[in-house]
Amino acid sequence: MSPYRAAAKRILDGAGARSPKVGMILGSGLSAVADAIDNPSTLPYTELEGFPDAKVSGHTGQLVLGELAGVSVACLQGRWHAYEGHDLADLAVPIRALKTAGCETLLITCAAGSLRAEMPPGSLMMLTDHINWPGLSPLVGPNDDALGSRFTDLSHAYDPALQGQLREAASDASLELHEGVYLWCLGPSFETPAEIRAFAHLGADAVGMSTVPETLVARHCGMAVAAVAVITNLAAGLQSGLSHEQTLAAGSQAAPQLTRLIKGFIKTLVEPSS
């Protein structure tokens, strides 16, 4: 059995009658969002076949199963980054496991640096599109036709209907939700001011070191993707000095607003507006 199928089976065994419908990924400093999950049960990544180790501080490395706004969710608390040295193809396993366990929707969260002064630290930005700056993909290699076709259409990488539901949830919760294009940088170094100026010309609104590989895997296997970035800093050259500590601190400060947005969003998945 392929690792993602074995992991999906373990997830379904752990979920019992509550098979997950929505998968979630929590970004740097955003682990606290999982505290809002009702009736949680956890599966350490070490018990899930094919799940790579998640090493970055601020990431705990477990799957949390339970309900959010009455919907069964499976939440990856701790993610993998290409800069840790993983084989990119290995990063596909957790997302494929969620899909195989029944998640048709994937909600990705991440920390990001802002290229726009009017989108300061603490802001929430919904991703409307992305730029794959490293030009790398976890889909390189043999294609698993059982999961998806060789050539994935990314015309709507971030599902337009889900974007509408995020807007609605933000408005209902009186939260400001910015929108923009996320540019993936490999990291682990932050960008130079010259790179940030170049990225602004390319049409980027925010930069980060995650999300894009996960979106590629999810779209390949037909999941609908929504993504929200927590702006933890202004990008290089727009503020003095950047650090991972600042990312973690700003992330945890914004976690309550993000949690409110996510709960409202998930509610719209079961109660579509008329």
**What residues act catalytically?**
28, 59, 81, 83-84, 111, 209-210, 233, 244
- State which of residues 14, 61, 148, 208 lies at the interface with ligand HPA (CB under 6 A): 208
Task: Specify the stretch interacting with ligand HPA by CB under 6 A; choose among 84-92, 108-116, 121-129, 218-226.
Answer: 108-116
Q: Which C-beta is closer to ligand HPA: that of 221 or that of 229?
A: 229
Residue 92 CB, nearest approach to ligand HPA (Å): 22
- State which of residues 72, 105, 215, 232 lies at the interface with ligand HPA (CB under 6 A): 232
- State which of residues 24, 97, 207, 223 lies at the interface with ligand HPA (CB under 6 A): 207
Q: Is 29 in the site for ligand HPA (CB under 6 A)?
A: no
Residue 251 CB, nearest approach to ligand HPA (Å): 8
Total interface residues for ligand HPA by CB under 6 A: 14
Q: Is 51 in the site for ligand HPA (CB under 6 A)?
A: no
- State which of residues 233, 252, 257, 259 lies at the interface with ligand HPA (CB under 6 A): 233
Q: Is 254 in the site for ligand HPA (CB under 6 A)?
A: no
- Closest C-alpha among 105, 91, 101 to residue 50: 91
The C-alpha atoms of residue 90 and residue 63 are separated, in whole angstroms, by 17
Residue 126 CB, nearest approach to ligand HPA (Å): 16
The C-alpha atoms of residue 32 and residue 21 are separated, in whole angstroms, by 21
- Bridge partner list, 73: 22, 66
Q: Is 111 in the site for ligand HPA (CB under 6 A)?
A: yes
- State which of residues 80, 190, 199, 265 lies at the interface with ligand HPA (CB under 6 A): 190
What residue ranges bind ligand HPA (CB under 6 A)?
A: 111-113, 185, 190-191, 207-209, 232-233, 235, 242, 247
